[in-house]
Amino acid sequence: MMQESIKAAVVQMSSSADVQQNLGEARRWVHQAAREGATLICLPEYFCWIGDDEMQRVALAEAFGDGPIQQALSELARETGAWLIGGTVPIRPSHGPQAGTHAYNTSLVFDPSGQSAARYDKIHLFSFNQGAEQHAEGDTMVGGDSIGTAQGPFGTLRLSVCYDLRFPELYRAGPSADVIAVPAAFTYTTGLAHWELLLRARAVENQAFVLASGQCGTHSNGWRTFGHSMIVGPWGEVLARHDDEPGIALATLTQSALDEARNRLPVLTHRRIATPSDVR
């Protein structure tokens, strides 16, 4: 049953190529969020590793349901008694021609008992070319093809990752979301231009809360990520943010805020165009 209100937290990190250090930092911030009352906590994309050679990320990939990174997330959820959105974890494809050369960029949800409650493989792979700044996620990542949804402590939770934010049809596929999770590693360039704009747009058009947890700072591989993690309400208002350094932002999500937005302007009941069927 959906709770009338919960406290949610987004964790902002500046991850390195040291997996154990990153896991320790994640544990520190998740425990702090839980001490401050959060029962739904979101880690950022790539929270466990950002390094110089993307093939190292592929080498870290775990079989789904088995591996030290997933085990650490499960234990962290159990220790804190929180629902934990595990940012993204590299997950090894179980078969196919890319099984040894690519990994899924996977967001996982763990319930307070430490059980895996949902999996979402990032569908849209980031590609960007601006002179010296270039990104091609498809070189080492394989895209998923299914939406990710969980029934969490505050209704329907829709999973997405970073670049997915630019594809609004993803959020209208399947059941309507009460909360949208966007763990991200937005570049500074694109984040400065579009991050808050896109987050608030997704909140408004879906009349849902948005939890956006980001990477920040300059990483060892030269990436500069934008940070500015935030929680956005269903009317598009920024309820909490954490700008430039590692840390957390917290806000209370309420059923009354959802009801007010949806009753005032019942957008979801006015839809006339079906969601494209290519998102399964």
| CATH code, domain carrying 130 | 3.60.110.10
188 assigned to some structural domain = yes
Cα gap 273→276, rounded to integer Å = 9
The predicted structure's pLDDT at residue 276: 63
276 assigned to some structural domain = no
For residue 157, pLDDT over 80 is answered with: yes
21 assigned to some structural domain = yes
> What residue numbers bound the domain in which 84 lies?
5-270
277 assigned to some structural domain = no
138 assigned to some structural domain = yes
The predicted structure's pLDDT at residue 278: 53
In eight-state DSSP terms, residue 102 is -
From 42, 48, 162, 216, active-site residue: 162
- Catalytic residue status for 237: no
The predicted structure's pLDDT at residue 163: 96
Cα gap 13→22, rounded to integer Å = 8
Which distant-in-sequence residues (6+ apart) come within 8 Å of 239 by Cβ? 230, 231, 232, 233, 251, 252
From 7, 122, 137, 216, active-site residue: 122
Query: What's the number of domains the chain is made of?
Result: 1
In eight-state DSSP terms, residue 173 is S
From 45, 48, 54, 137, active-site residue: 45
278 assigned to some structural domain = no
71 assigned to some structural domain = yes
- Catalytic residue status for 162: yes
Token digits for 24? 């320790």
Question: pLDDT tens for residues 177-200?
Answer: 999 999 999 999 999 999 999 999
- Strand partners of residue 7: 252
Cα gap 279→157, rounded to integer Å = 17
Based on its alpha-carbon atoms, the radius of gyration of the chain, rounded to whole angstroms, reads 17
Provide the phi-psi class of 87: left if phi over 0, else alpha when psi is between -120 and 50, else beta.
left
Q: Alpha carbon of 269 to those of 14, 207, 235: distances in Å?
A: 41, 11, 16
For 219-222, the CB contacts below 8 A with 24+ separation are 219/14, 219/15, 219/16, 219/50, 219/51, 220/16, 220/17, 220/50, 220/51, 220/52, 221/17, 221/50, 221/51, 221/52
The predicted structure's pLDDT at residue 98: 82
Q: What is the pTM of this model?
A: 0.95
- Catalytic residue status for 122: yes
Cα gap 76→98, rounded to integer Å = 31
